[in-house]
A and B are shown apart, each in its own frame.
Chain A
Amino acid sequence: MTTYDFRLSVEIARVHLFSKPKQTIVAMLGVTFGIGMFIALVSLMTGLNDFTEDITMTSSPDIHIYQEETAMRPSILEAVNPRALNYVHHQKPKNETQKIRNARQIAKLINADPRVTGSSPQVSSQVFYNYGPVQLNGTILGVDILDEDKLFDLRSKMRKGRIEELLSNHNGLIMGKGLAKKLNIDLGNRVVVTTPQGNTLTLKVVGIFQMGIGVIDNVRSYANIATVQAILQEDQSFITDINVKLKDRQLAKKTAAEWQSKFTYKAEDWETANSTFLTGVIIRNIITYAVSFTLLIVAGFGIYNILNMTIYNKMKDIAILKAMGFAGSDVKNIFMVQSLVIGLVGSVAGLVIGYTLSLLISKAPFDGGDIISLDHFPVNFDPKYYVIGVVFGVTTTAVAGYMPSRKASKIDPIEILRGQ
């Protein structure tokens, strides 16, 4: 088969397509709708995924080192009867300290690691916030606020006040926006903080931050390390957590495992810590691709039907073409070209529709409520998905067109020409 023969097939295909414009357009619309919806869906879903991943990442460290509470521990019986089957019912947790020993040295070692951008040792505790009659449960983090800023870009998340206020104000507190709202607290107000051990301290609110995610904004506040150590009545070496930011986030899993065995404290990477979020991402992806795939298959069946009908109507034409010397492959090309043109033009139109829909969605107001701070739908305009859309569309139409085209190439002209 020469390129000349192919050009002739293309010419005939072109006449076929233009002689029945309505049918051609209906076939194209099937693909256009499929691809358009695919683009709109994928843009919205990946936009949402990126958005959630983004806020999760900005609010959780790449690696979090802390003392894990051990629920089960080897009982003394094991030492006495090492070869026996021992079982202790209702074992109570041991009174363990949350303290990371030699935390400063560990932090120093971590900072020396070339993979690390920065680390922030801190003291965390469950507390009650009391303001007037209101009493709310939450957490307090004792941090070096400048280190914490390096890790989470806290400065950009401040809604009121500045982070430096904490340095100059020993008993200062930077509070999550949701928490402040619930307590009805504003800058300069004093709030009483009570630890589970019953110690209390009055702190002054010097700043209000918003991470954009409810689980943090509604419970957390930052204070100086020394302040939190004082409430807990612990000494200066008392550190409960070390947060680490890496240069390459993808190395977190490997690095965490390495550190866990090295420092003997629990080192948790961001993927494990946010597995619920990441599961959501995976499920959303599955749904997106399943729906898009279905749409495209439906479009494919549409093309298959239309091409089958065209070929049925063109039996006589095919027979005479073959009698006059067109080879089976020429006939196949005539119909393959038609389906590919339908696929390509339909897909490109689909991209335009998809882009328009995405643009409309990205402008639609959406209230994220208390959970996430969001006023518009996040939409992803990554060109990657547009390429996938075209490839998907053309492939589906090629497959849908191939079967009828092959049937056309196999038509026996004698049966049709002498039938009457």
Chain B
Amino acid sequence: MDILKTESINKYFYDPEKFQVLKSIDLTVKKGEFMSLVGKSGCGKSTLMYVLSTMDTDYEGNLEIAGEKLTGKTQNELAAFRNAHIGFVFQFHYLLPEFSVLQNVMIPALKLNRFSRAEIEARAMEKLKILGIAEHARKQSSKLSGGQQQRVAIARALINDPDIIMGDEPTGNLDSYNTQLVFDIFKELTHHYQQTIIAVTHDDEFARKSDHRVEMSDGRIVKD
């Protein structure tokens, strides 16, 4: 089953001069697939990921996630869609420093408002357990180590059982031990929980071990 599909996506940058970053990208991602997006810096892989993430709406072509056409929707509709269907892991953890680990994980679920607060808390604890950081749940998020914080960020990305997790260099800021840890978590999520993951990376080893490696160059997909 295809969870994400694009049809000939083109995108231009206008500053300082008109420049085509993405050239007719056709991409399909299957459910439960661990896809990595690689390429030299400046090849447009991050740009593509932000288009796929629905945060960037300035493109030509069609984007469909979980059978829903997303091209042409308003910012608020897209925000609500992201809340329910997409989880994010970035190079930096972007946890809210004033909130506890548990609260950070709960926030997207509180926004979604599908479960009661008690249920949300139980689900957040469950996700933290999967990632092996349940014992830190009540701590201030800023008190954790870098690897732990990134795992909290992954738990936060998982809280609403999203159709896709999108990662922009999710291991870019981690040492080799934690990189391995995060990779193993991703692997387990895809194989064990049928979680779809799209990760932009320049870590060749990381990409090689993923299920589906897509290489980009000069705004085109060169190897699928």
Contacts and interface: CB of A to CB of B under 8 A. Distances in A.
Interface of A: 4-5, 8, 12, 15-16, 19, 316-317, 319-330, 413-414, 417-418, 420
Contacts of A12: 107
B22 interface: no
A324 B81 CA distance: 9
Interface stretch (B5-13, B84-92, B210-218): B84-92
The secondary structure that dominates the B interface is helix
Interface in B59-97: 75-76, 79-84, 88, 90-92, 94, 96-97
Interface stretch (B50-58, B143-151, B178-186): B50-58
A325 B98 contact: no
A320 B149 CA distance: 14
Contacts of A418: 46, 50, 168
A24 to B, nearest CB: 12
B76 A328 contact: yes
B79 A322 contact: yes
A322 B81 CA distance: 11
A324 B82 CA distance: 6
24 contacts: A15-B103, A16-B98, A19-B97, A19-B98, A316-B92, A316-B94, A317-B97, A320-B88, A320-B96, A321-B107, A323-B53, A323-B82, A324-B108, A324-B156, A325-B83, A327-B76, A328-B75, A328-B76, A328-B79, A330-B111, A417-B55, A417-B90, A418-B46, A420-B91
Nearest to B82: A325
B113 interface: yes
B110 interface: yes
Contacts of A413: 55
B112 interface: yes
A67 to B, nearest CB: 79
B80 A319 contact: no
Among A323, A414, A420, residue most surrounded by chain B Cβ atoms (within 10 Å): A323
Given A324-B108, A326-B111, 15 more contacts: A4-B113, A5-B111, A15-B98, A16-B98, A19-B97, A316-B92, A320-B96, A323-B82, A323-B88, A325-B83, A325-B108, A326-B79, A327-B76, A418-B168, A420-B92
The secondary structure that dominates the A interface is helix
Contact of B79 (A8, A316, A325, A414): A325
B99 interface: yes
B96 A325 contact: no
Contacts of A417: 55, 90, 94, 168
Contacts of A327: 75-76, 79-80
Contact of A324 (B76, B91, B111, B168): B111
Contacts of A323: 53, 55, 82, 88
Contacts of B99: 15
A1 B144 CA distance: 34
A325 B111 contact: yes
A327 B77 CA distance: 9
A8 B111 contact: yes
Nearest to B49: A418
A5 B92 CA distance: 27
Contacts of B75: 327-328
Contacts of B103: 15
A366 B92 CA distance: 66
Q: Which 6 A-B pairs have the closest CB atoms?
A: A325-B83, A19-B98, A320-B94, A324-B108, A327-B76, A325-B82
Given A324-B83, A328-B76, A319 B113 contact: no
Contacts of B81: 325
A272 B65 CA distance: 80
A8 B113 CA distance: 10
A7 to B, nearest CB: 9
Contacts of A4: 113
Contact of A325 (B46, B90, B97, B112): B112
A174 B147 CA distance: 97
A414 B55 contact: yes
Among A16, A324, A328, A330, residue most surrounded by chain B Cβ atoms (within 10 Å): A324
Nearest to A416: B94
Contacts of A317: 94, 96-97
Interface string B105-117: 0011011110000
A12 B96 CA distance: 10
Contacts of A420: 91-92
Nearest to B46: A418
Contacts of A414: 50, 55-56
B110 A8 contact: yes
Nearest to B172: A420
Among B76, B91, B103, residue most surrounded by chain A Cβ atoms (within 10 Å): B76
Contacts of B96: 317, 320-321
A326 B94 CA distance: 15
Contacts of A15: 98-99, 103
B92 A324 contact: no
A321 to B, nearest CB: 8
A324 B55 contact: no
Nearest to B74: A327
A8 B107 CA distance: 9
Nearest to A417: B90
Nearest to A19: B98
Contacts of A320: 88, 90, 94, 96
A412 to B, nearest CB: 8
A4 B168 CA distance: 31
Given A417-B168, A418-B50, A420-B92, A325 B56 contact: no
Contacts of A19: 97-98
